[in-house]
A and B are shown apart, each in its own frame.
Chain A
């Protein structure tokens, strides 16, 4: 079974609008971390935001916020006030604290295009 599922291969958003990128995960661990990365065409993976499984508040980092629904095992990324520079691939990732050591599991990504 896939550990991380991103069901939106591609998304379009108008500049200055908000967009939600979906991510669901699968784990039997009680303790885990959820991450979002941005990958521009240059290839570098840029860390955006983190949510711990025990965190009660949804994480926020500037224009990025997470809609974390633990019971549904989903952690959707919300980008507010989209900018042209937000056009990139976005990857959701998970690290299980106990089961699988230190590796991250990544989804297949969502390609976001911001339209002027």
Chain B
């Protein structure tokens, strides 16, 4: 099974900051990398698919990059509504493993 490792597990940032979250796959997954955002008590929401393509309606301050084994989610100019937990997931093969999550907290 492909393992997905996210770092950091949590970070503190201020409104207006630029933050980056890393996701590493245990083997190459090409661009089969997905990013989700989850807020407390809510279902996850799709942010980015195919490593770098923004899902419809997602603000352009979110961006994704990478291919193979190393991927990054970047949030430019952090907004109050961006404080949440972010998960990566691969859909390269079964099982569709998720990363452990990164909690973005207010500094």
* A, B from the same assembly: no
Residues of A within 8 A of B (CB): none
Residues of B within 8 A of A (CB): none
